[in-house]
Amino acid sequence: DAGVIQSPRHEVTEMGQEVTLRCKPISGHNSLFWYRQTMMRGLELLIYFNNNVPIDDSGMPEDRFSAKMPNASFSTLKIQPSEPRDSAVYFCASSFPVGTSGGALYNEQFFGPGTRLTVL
């Protein structure tokens, strides 16, 4: 199993440019999460999908950020226009139900290697 795949691994761009980050979840996983990690703000959830449907996008910073999941094996996170404060490591994670206890389903999230974005 290749795990969660993200591309590119590193991206350097100039302010104002469009940036597209890509993620391929583990096959069979039905939930996908986009996180942003910075020293100042730690690990923040931006948006997550269940069965390709966006469930919670309350963490998306502003309208410059958008995410899509056109099918079960691919998702994108787009920033347009990019700004220096968007510089961070962006992680994609996927999960599947691992079992039940008292009727609840629990999910282990598997993270991708991350994309290090630098906006100059």
Interface residues with another protein (CB under 8 A)? 30-31, 33, 42-45, 48, 50, 55-56, 91, 95, 97, 100-114
Quick one: 42 or 70, whose CB is closer to another protein? 42
Quick one: 14 or 44, whose CB is closer to another protein? 44
Maximal CA-CA distance, the chain: 51
Q: Closest separation between CB of residue 76 and another protein, Å?
A: 19
Q: Closest separation between CB of residue 93 and another protein, Å?
A: 8
Q: Closest separation between CB of residue 12 and another protein, Å?
A: 17
Tell me the CA distances in angstroms from 103 to 29, 51, 107, one per residue in order.
Answer: 20, 20, 13
Among 85, 63, 82, 112, which residue's Cα sits nearest to residue 20?
82
Q: Closest separation between CB of residue 104 and another protein, Å?
A: 5
Label residue 65 exposed, middle or buried (CB < 10 Å: 0-12, 13-18, 19+): buried
Q: Tell me how long the chain is.
A: 120
Quick one: 70 or 103, whose CB is closer to another protein? 103
Copy the structure tokens of residue 67: 């995410």
Quick one: 74 or 111, whose CB is closer to another protein? 111
